[in-house]
Amino acid sequence: MPQTPQLILDSIAFERDDCLLFSGICLSLESGDVLQIEGPNGVGKTTLLRILSTALMPTAGKLLWQGSDVARHRQLYLQNLLFLGHLPGLKQSLSPTENLVWWRRIHRDHSPLKNEEILGSLGLCGYEDIPCYALSAGQQRRAVLARLLVTEAPLWILDEPFTAIDKQGVADLEALLIAHARRGGMAVLSTHQDLGIANVRRFPLVASAEAV
């Protein structure tokens, strides 16, 4: 049965200071899709993901969320979105619990899950109340990934989510992604890693050769 696409990228182009990074990107995502953006360094993966997060405006083209233009109905789109960039906003002087509490407050999350359970299931048991600056890079990553467990947003946009985490962490994150897709969620991520997830769609991002 053909599904209606939830998110459509309609010939997106991005230009920075008269230098065209990419153009004519057309994509669509349906419920249950996991999309991996591939490409060498500097090709614009992060830029594309930041456009999807609306942190950047595309130079041309538009985003459609459930058929409505994101530029016009930005609030509606943002309510359905979870974005984790390179720098995900983890406060170093706060503990993983405090960071998570803040995140849940600002996103108005009232799910009954307890903070300790969430952090414990990500292997941070015993580290919940230690300031983040005292944690390793991988543990900090895990503290960020805790947000994936409390969000109800159907669209996840993850920039290099596998950075710095160990094998067990990779497996945990893959399991999260699979569960998310099975619930009908969608994910767009950039990574150089081969994912252990069936039916991953791959999108090779190609640099634009032409100059303006």
Applying CB under 8 A, which residues contact another protein? 16-18, 53-57, 75, 78-79, 81, 83, 85-94, 98, 102, 105-108, 131, 211-212
With respect to another protein, which residue has the nearer C-beta, 79 or 193? 79
Name which of 37 and 49 has its Cβ closer to another protein.
49
**How many Å is the Cα radius of gyration of the chain?**
18
- Rounded to a whole number of angstroms, the minimum distance from the CB of residue 54 to another protein is 6
* Nearest-approach distance from CB 10 to another protein, in angstroms: 19
CA distance 41 to 12: 20
Q: Which amino acid is at 27?
A: L
Pick the closer one to another protein by CB: 17 or 194.
17
**57 token code pair:** 């405006």
Q: Rounded distance, CA 54 to CA 62, Å?
A: 11
Decide whether 32 or 131 has the Cβ nearer to another protein.
131
Give me the least distance between CB of 99 and another protein, in Å please: 9
Is 203 buried (19+), middle (13-18) or exposed (0-12) by CB count in 10 A?
Answer: middle
CB of 199 to another protein, least distance (A): 28
Q: Is 122 helix (H, G, I), strand (E, B) or coil?
A: coil
